[in-house]
Amino acid sequence: MKIVIVGAGIGGLATALSLGAAGFDDVTVVERATELRPLGVGINLLPHAVRELTELGLADRVGSIGVAPSRLSYFNRFGQPVWSEPRGLEAGYHWPQLSVHRGEFQLLLADEVRRRFGAEAIRTGWRATGVEHGVPGADGGVCERVRFTDAAGSELVLDADVVVGADGIHSALRAQEHPGEGAPPWNRLVLWRGTALAPTYLDGRTMIMAGDAEQKFVAYPLVAPGAEGGMTRVNFIAERRAPEGVDETADWNHAVDPAPIVELFADWAFDWLDVPAVIAAADEILEYPMVDRNPLERWTVGRTTLIGDAAHALYPNGSNGASQAILDARSLAFHLATAADTGIDGIEAALAAYEADRRPITTRLSAMTRELGPERVMQLAYERAPQGFADVHDVIPEAELRQIADSYKVAAGFHPDVLNERSSLTAAVRR
Among 52, 144, 167, 212, binds ligand FAD (CB under 6 A): 167
Among 39, 59, 156, 175, binds ligand FAD (CB under 6 A): 39
**Cβ 78 to ligand FAD shortest distance, Å:** 27
The count of residues interacting with ligand FAD (CB under 6 A) is 31
d(CA 370, CA 206): 25
* Choice between 99 and 200, CB closer to ligand FAD: 99
Determine the interface stretch with ligand FAD among 33-41, 183-191, 340-348, 362-370 (rule: CB under 6 A).
Answer: 33-41
d(CA 431, CA 426): 16
| Site mask for ligand FAD (CB under 6 A), range 297-326, x = bound | -----------xxx-----x----xx--x-
By CB under 6 A, tell whether 240 contacts ligand FAD.
no
Contacts of 195 (CB under 8 A, 6+ apart): 41, 42, 222, 233, 234, 235, 236, 282, 283
By CB under 6 A, tell whether 285 contacts ligand FAD.
no
Residue nearest to ligand FAD (CB): 9
* Choice between 293 and 409, CB closer to ligand FAD: 293
By CB under 6 A, tell whether 12 contacts ligand FAD.
yes
By CB under 6 A, tell whether 32 contacts ligand FAD.
yes
Among 48, 174, 193, 415, binds ligand FAD (CB under 6 A): 193
By CB under 6 A, tell whether 102 contacts ligand FAD.
yes
Q: How far apart are the first and last CA of the chain?
A: 12
Among 1, 21, 22, 31, binds ligand FAD (CB under 6 A): 31
Footprint (CB under 6 A) of ligand FAD, residues 245-284: 252
**Cβ 369 to ligand FAD shortest distance, Å:** 12
Among 127, 147, 241, 364, binds ligand FAD (CB under 6 A): 127
* Choice between 102 and 376, CB closer to ligand FAD: 102
Query: Which residues sit at the interface with ligand FAD, rule CB under 6 A?
Result: 6-12, 30-33, 39-41, 43, 102, 127-128, 166-168, 172, 193, 252, 308-310, 316, 321-322, 325
